[in-house]
């Protein structure tokens, strides 16, 4: 008989998805243990650099950590092993754990065919899992062609510990538009028109100073509570996907409505699947020009912002979009109320 229900390989703390699944497992009444995936990436700096630059972005301690996963599963005998993201567990370890009768799953938060993630060791490991769960429909065919035994689509969720409406708006964090996420060239081009309009844009995340359009405009990184309060204080929250990751939606797609802010989202099939047609609970755009036009319209219609925010909030909170529901779906357990 299993002494444990679930072992998670992920990053603890903060807004990491692995940490949200850990808390969700406890909400489901599961006996759960987490292995900190960060251990595999740590080591002497020269070794880390060699593994990253010369050995295909390999974690410095991939073998050592993979053996730790085998040992943990052998001693704890869980029903499931859940890896989160491009987890530092090698193919041999995944297959070894699977052969013991433990069901192995990987919630693949990123796209393996994104040039930044296209590494052979990760692809070999991914196809060894009993089931790969993808929060993007665009790569499901590629995962099947890779040789994955089972591929399922489960969207991102939200963590009620971090995403909830604020009772009072912090005016020090107020803005016309907020965007939270790392910068790239395309995202900088989308943000530029809003800045050129003279709007008060709250821009959070890394690398924005790399691009002339957004240099000096970012508020940098911020802890989860600041992001929540800043999102609640914004009139409009902008949701952009990352094309290089073939995203149809992102974590913020669910988190913004959970916080209760009016969301202006990039028009994708997944966003429409999650939130319905344009104007039902969110407003969509498909170009920088259309985005600017719709921001202006929303800023001029405060009552409509309130209506949209309320509709989207009801959709995620009443529609079982939290991570506890996502985990139950992945493990084929009854979904909690």
Cβ neighbors of 99 (< 8 A, separation 6 or more) are none
The CA distance from 31 to 28, in Å, is 9
Residue 2 has pLDDT above 60, yes or no: no
Find where tokens 């251990």 sit.
39
If one compares 55 and 170, the residue with the highest pLDDT of the two is 170
The arrangement of strands across the sheet holding 151-153 comes to 32-36, 6-10, 80-84, 103-107, 131-134, 151-153
Task: Say whether pTM exceeds 0.85.
Answer: yes
> Region 179-191: what's the mean pLDDT?
92
Domains of the chain in start order, with CATH, are 6-157+323-330 (3.40.50.2000), 171-318 (3.40.50.2000)
Name the residue with higher pLDDT: 115 or 326.
326
Contact 136, 270 (CB under 8 A): yes
Residue 90: both structure tokens together? 């090698």
The span from the CA of 3 to the CA of 72, in Å, is 11
pLDDT bracket for residue 1 (50, 70, 90): very low
The residue count of the chain comes to 337
Chain centroid offset of residue 47 CA: 29
Give the tens place of pLDDT for each residue, 61-117.
999 999 999 999 999 999 999 999 999 999 999 999 999 999 999 999 999 999 877
């Amino acid at each position: 008989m299993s002494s444990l229900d679930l072992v998670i390989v992920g990053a603890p703390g903060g807004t990491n998805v692995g940490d949200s699944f850990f808390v969700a497992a406890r909400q489901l009444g599961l006996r759960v243990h987490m292995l900190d995936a960060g251990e595999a990436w740590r080591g002497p700096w020269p070794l880390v650099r060699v593994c990253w630059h010369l050995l295909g972005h390999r974690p410095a301690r991939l073998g050592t950590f993979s053996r730790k996963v085998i040992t943990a599963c052998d001693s704890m005998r869980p029903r499931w092993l859940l890896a989160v993201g491009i987890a530092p567990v090698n193919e041999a370890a995944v297959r070894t754990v699977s052969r013991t009768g433990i069901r192995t799953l990987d919630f693949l938060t990123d796209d393996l065919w994104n040039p930044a993630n296209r590494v052979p060791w990760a692809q070999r490991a991914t196809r060894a899992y009993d089931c790969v769960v993808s929060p993007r429909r665009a790569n499901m065919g590629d995962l099947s062609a890779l040789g994955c035994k089972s591929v399922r689509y489960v969207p991102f969720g939200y963590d009620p510990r971090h995403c909830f409406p604020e009772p009072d708006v912090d005016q020090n964090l107020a803005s016309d538009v907020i965007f939270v996420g790392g910068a790239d060239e395309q995202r900088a081009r989308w943000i530029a028109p809003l800045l050129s309009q003279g709007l008060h844009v709250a821009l959070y995340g890394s690398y924005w100073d790399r691009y002339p359009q957004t240099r000096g405009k970012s508020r940098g990184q911020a802890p989860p509570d600041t992001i929540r309060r800043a999102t609640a204080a914004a009139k409009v929250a902008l949701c952009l996907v990352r094309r290089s990751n073939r995203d149809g939606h992102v974590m913020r797609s669910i988190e913004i409505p959970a916080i209760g802010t009016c969301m202006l989202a990039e028009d994708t099939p997944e966003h429409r699947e999650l939130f319905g047609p344009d104007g039902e609970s969110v407003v969509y755009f498909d170009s920088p020009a259309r985005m600017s036009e719709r921001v202006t319209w929303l800023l001029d219609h405060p009552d409509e912002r309130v209506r949209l925010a309320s509709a989207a909030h009801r959709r995620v909170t009443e529609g079982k979009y939290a991570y506890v529901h996502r985990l139950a779906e992945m493990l084929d357990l009854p979904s909690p109320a």
